[in-house]
Amino acid sequence: MEQYQHINLSDYTYSGEGGQGVAYTHKSEKRLAKLFNPGFDATFALKEFEMAKAAFEMGVPTPEPFRLITDGERVGTEYELIENKRSFCRIISEQPERMEEISLRFAKACKDLHSMKADTSRIPSMKARMQAFYAREGAAPGFLVEKIKPILENIPDTPTCLHGDMQIGNIITDGDRTLWIDIGQFAYGAPEWDMSLCWRITQMQDALRTDQLFHLTPEQLQKHWSILAPAYYGCSPEEIGTHIRRLLPYSVIKAAYMYSITYHKPIDEDRAKRMCAAL
């Protein structure tokens, strides 16, 4: 914990929260503190900081990461504060008539990131990260692990930059710049890792959850995908099903991993069985 600098939350104001933590804005300096929810291992924040720093130094458009922090109970990272910023999902929520414009901008940002070659000496491959996860005893139900291992073995690895948690809540604009945020899962590999998460999130049916996380309805998320996907793949809406079928294995493999790091426990067997059925 020596690497973590203690902050006084009285110097900050509450800014918002997501699935893994809470954000605070410094009252007098251009700094944004992101603290993970209690229960996150300190090494998780360290790895996020290292990935965010690597992405920033590779030229990925993202706020500069400053330092590792703790409030005494939680750990996290402090970043450059982007003033007057709004997330793409917030813009759609507040100005639904801009849905097509923002979804097309998101598609372009995804393509731009996936056109960047990664420094593979600094960041892990997403495939290797998933293999390490499924090799851990008790990480997921055994039948899911056995189903996934041979599929994972055959997934290609490419030196392509990946966000790792690519979705419409993790991209912001200050009116001039478009920036990726929450980039702690940064890695390299097949773009399908990112696009499968984009797709899976837009299929959420829990209205309360989608409102809490994205300020959007399930119907708006589905419409976002219907605009995003043809623009990203350069195909007609009728051809999207072919691309979705290719995304399914990546989506299932990543889902158990994301569940584990969010809830600090293995995915339950009923959910895992439904996932297996999709493969």
Q: Residue 48's pLDDT is what?
A: 87
Q: Can you count the helices (H) and strands (E) in the chain?
A: 10, 11
Compute the distance between CA of residue 251 and CA of residue 139 in angstroms, rounded to an integer.
Answer: 17
Q: Angle at the Cα of 211 (from 207 to 217), degrees rounded to 5? A: 55
Q: Residue 38's pLDDT is what?
A: 86
Q: What is the mean pLDDT of residues 93-98?
A: 97
- Percent with pLDDT over 90 in the chain: 82
Select from 26, 59, 80 the last residue of a domain. 80
Q: Residue 127's pLDDT is what?
A: 98
- Please, where are the H alpha helices in 8-118? 42-58, 88-94, 99-114
Q: What is the mean pLDDT of residues 214-239?
A: 96
Q: Kindly tell me if the per-residue pLDDT of 248 is higher than 70.
A: yes
**63 and 199 fall within a common domain:** no
**176 and 262 fall within a common domain:** yes
**108 and 199 fall within a common domain:** yes
39 Cβ neighbours under 8 A, 6+ residues apart: 264
Compute the distance between CA of residue 84 and CA of residue 124 in angstroms, rounded to an integer.
Answer: 33
| C-alpha pair distances (Å), 19 with each of 46, 94, 137, 172, 268 | 18, 21, 25, 17, 18
| Alpha-carbon torsion angle 269, 244, 161, 163, nearest 10 | -50
**23 and 68 fall within a common domain:** yes
Q: Kindly tell me if the per-residue pLDDT of 79 is higher than 90.
A: yes
**93 and 211 fall within a common domain:** yes
Domain that holds residue 42: 5-80
**139 and 238 fall within a common domain:** yes
Number of structural domains in the chain = 2
pLDDT interval class at 1 (50, 70, 90): low
- Segment 124-167, tens digit of pLDDT: 999 999 999 999 999 999 999 999 999 999 999 999 999 999 99
**248 and 271 fall within a common domain:** yes
201 Cβ neighbours under 8 A, 6+ residues apart: 167, 168, 214, 221
Q: What is the mean pLDDT of residues 16-41?
A: 88
Q: Residue 159's pLDDT is what?
A: 97
Select from 80, 114, 141 the last residue of a domain. 80
Select from 51, 80, 109 the last residue of a domain. 80
Q: What is the mean pLDDT of residues 186-201?
A: 97
Look at the pTM and tell me if it is higher than 0.85: yes
Asked if 189 contacts 157 with a C-beta cutoff of 8 angstroms, the reply is yes
